[in-house]
Amino acid sequence: MAPKPSPGSTKRANKTPKASSHHSPSPSSSVPDIDPSSSFTPASFERELKALAAKAQTETWGKWAREQAAVYLKSGALLALAALSSAVSQLALSPAYGAIPAARWHARLLAAACFAGWSSNLLLSRALPFRTELLLPLVAAYVPLVQFVLGGAPAARLLTAHWGPLVTEALTLFPLVGLSAACVATYLDAADLSALPGWLADAAPGLGSYGFFKAAEVVLGGLARRYAGRTFVNSRLGMELVLAGSYALFAPSKLLLWTVPALLHTAFLNTHVPTSTALAALNRGLAPAGYVVLDRAESVTGYISVIDSPKEGFRLMRCDHSLLGGEWVKFLGQGQFKGNQVAEPVYGVFAMLEAVRLVKTPKPIPDNKAQALVIGLGIGTTPAALVAHGIDTTVVELDPVVHKFASKYFQLPSNHTAVIEDAVSYTARLAADETEARFDYIIHDVFTGGAEPIALFTLEFLQNLNTLLKPNGVVAINYAGDFAHPPPRIVVNTIKSVFPTCRIFREHPRDEADFAKTGRDFTNMVIFCTKHQQQGGGSGQISFREPTERDMLNSPSRRAYLLPRHEVNEGDFVQGEEGDGILRRNETERLVKWHEASALGHWTVMRTVLPDAVWEAW
């Protein structure tokens, strides 16, 4: 029933022309009172109604938009935090287990966490006496503590690289990602998807969330690795503390009091924190084992540290759960070594790489006119020797910390050209420009964590090296791998497809008893190649001149290892279909699938090289 109009309004309406029917308010409309004394016309009345209708409509749409924006912003923020947590978890596990073992179960565990959390959001919301998101800061705060305990003795020795990463992430990353997925599922219940078809509206929240999470993982993970270690915030522990703080801001509550024990442990007992106080505590713990960490940093290729053994008299550079090289410091300036231009390497294979100078070429290469390109620095053993011989040496190294530590703590001379860049892009750029330098010697020495950087062994990369090598030049490629698996054969096939003349030598002959017992034959091999096809054919084309006293640089290690001795034959490689063919840039998965077994074996080998305490107290 329409309200009865007031006399004033009836009288005023009777004196005005009749308005169009589509402008007339319905009797049931709520019309504000109109001041009788004010001037009134049909046009002004119509404008007033339109303004009120627009205002009401704007308020309704604005509220809806704000509510929807809040849903997606909260969901996106939580997914981004979970994605960064995923990347940081892998970084935190790599010093204890190596990057490849750390990633062994990672993708499957993430998928399981997402599914478990998404499907149990209602169960959690009903079972918990508080909002689910209030648990997130607690879990995040305890992540460093759990990683510290499980990465140290005796847990690491019990779990090994086979199970350590899985157990650690099951107790840290799984609940963090699972709870995040549950919260996002609850938030997106309020999303208005009425404009979508029914089947798409049902699937869109889950598919969209997972897609956003994976994209954020790629972007944020890439940034975390790229800027790792530049500041405390960019360190592994720093990022984990930032994540815990971000979760606390996202879901503040009185439950945050329960994070205090974890935060106190991280502040005062966790030796992984990149502070001088934590380093001093770490070295106190290492003292009984007879080792000391001189310096450490986190960088683009991993956790880098310099380790001294005062008792044994050697020094090593570590990258994650691998060694980049070492030298005997106890001989520096002592006895017959006084005045030496180079240090004594701990590993003989690094001296073998210097035999690139001993390869006979059609035209002898005078040292003072030679140019060398070294890909992969390590501690600088090979570049230091080349410089000592008077060779103009360029070193390409991806990690600036490796170059810094090699210059500061090892005998790397300053008179070399350092290129801190990815070798793939650097060599491609030089090869494409005919005016750029070409080299008499190229030494390819890259390896860490039980596996080779695959991009540096592809056909395309080796073709660029071929372009950069002078017609009379020699290339030496160091490859560390397990001869019981196909990758060494694939790599050698690829090298031989680019360089027509090659010979291969390994650091030590195969230990047949150990091979029969363990099935492993992990070793370093050096492949010497030239561009020219010598007469006679066959695999024995390359020959070495006898080294002189000058070649030895007054070094016992070079006397023992400079001239290659243990030649590798075709029968030493795994035979079969999987070991055939060559490695192209778009076929790198052929080697990736073997990395896991190689890296796990390498982890075991490294535990025999240095005491467990050194690896655990990173």
| pLDDT tens readout for residues 373-400 | 999 999 999 999 999 999 999 999 999 9
Which of 24-33, 464-473, 479-488, 494-503 is the least confident region? 24-33
Report if residue 371 sits inside a domain.
yes
DSSP 378: T
Report d(CA 312, CA 329) in Å as an integer. Answer: 9
Report the DSSP pairing between strands 469-482 and 522-530: antiparallel
Q: Name the residue with tokens 């695959």.
A: 454
For position 576, what pLDDT does the model report? 59
| pLDDT tens readout for residues 310-328 | 999 999 999 999 999 999 9
For position 572, what pLDDT does the model report? 81
| Residues 357, 452 share a domain | yes
Closest CA to 457 of 417, 502, 493, 420: 493
Closest CA to 372 of 424, 416, 308: 416
Report if residue 8 sits inside a domain.
no
For position 40, what pLDDT does the model report? 64
**Domain of residue 219, CATH code:** 1.20.1250
| Residues 566, 475 share a domain | yes
Contact 164, 151 (CB under 8 A): yes
For position 449, what pLDDT does the model report? 63
For position 163, what pLDDT does the model report? 96
Closest CA to 407 of 383, 442, 389: 383
Quick one: tokens of 46? 């119509």
For position 339, what pLDDT does the model report? 86
User: Which domain-ending residue is among 270, 289, 313?
Assistant: 270
Considering only residues 513 and 422, tell me which one the structure prediction assigns the higher pLDDT.
422
Contact 293, 576 (CB under 8 A): no
Q: Does the pLDDT value for residue 52 go beyond 80? A: no
Element (H, E) at 372: strand 371-375
Report if residue 460 sits inside a domain.
yes
| Residues 251, 399 share a domain | no
For position 154, what pLDDT does the model report? 87
User: Which domain-ending residue is among 255, 270, 285?
Assistant: 270
| Residues 354, 259 share a domain | no
Q: Does the pLDDT value for residue 31 go beyond 60? A: no
pLDDT tier at 486, thresholds 50, 70, 90: confident
Residue 484's contacts (CB-CB under 8 Å, 6 or more residues apart) are: 515, 519, 520, 521, 574
Alpha-carbon distances of 567 from 237, 350, 542, 544, 570, rounded to whole Å = 46, 16, 12, 13, 10
User: Which domain-ending residue is among 212, 239, 270?
Assistant: 270
Cα angle value 77/80/84 (rounded, 5°): 140
Q: Does the pLDDT value for residue 538 go beyond 50? A: no
| Residues 252, 351 share a domain | no
Report if residue 222 sits inside a domain.
yes
Write the DSSP string, 507-572.
SS---HHHHHHH---EEEEEEEEESS--TT-SS----BPPP-HHHHTT-HHHHHHSS--EE--GGG
| pLDDT tens readout for residues 53-105 | 666 666 678 888 899 999 999 999 999 999 999 999 999 999 999 999 999 99
For the chain, percent of residues with pLDDT exceeding 70: 89
Considering only residues 354 and 47, tell me which one the structure prediction assigns the higher pLDDT.
354
Contact 320, 419 (CB under 8 A): no
**Domain of residue 495, CATH code:** 3.40.50.150
Report if residue 425 sits inside a domain.
yes
| Residues 396, 259 share a domain | no
| Residues 353, 439 share a domain | yes
| Residues 349, 262 share a domain | no
| Residues 375, 229 share a domain | no
Report if residue 462 sits inside a domain.
yes
| Residues 243, 119 share a domain | yes
Report if residue 544 sits inside a domain.
yes
Q: Does the pLDDT value for residue 536 go beyond 60? A: no
pTM: 0.86
Look over the chain and give the mean of its residue pLDDT values, rounded to a whole number. Answer: 88
| Residues 171, 64 share a domain | yes
Report if residue 399 sits inside a domain.
yes
Quick one: tokens of 200? 């798409």
Residue 453's contacts (CB-CB under 8 Å, 6 or more residues apart) are: 446, 447
pLDDT tier at 19, thresholds 50, 70, 90: very low
Q: What is the largest CA-CA distance in the chain?
A: 123
Total domains in the chain come to 2
Contact 385, 357 (CB under 8 A): no
Domain that holds residue 83: 60-270
Report d(CA 175, CA 173) in Å as an integer. Answer: 6
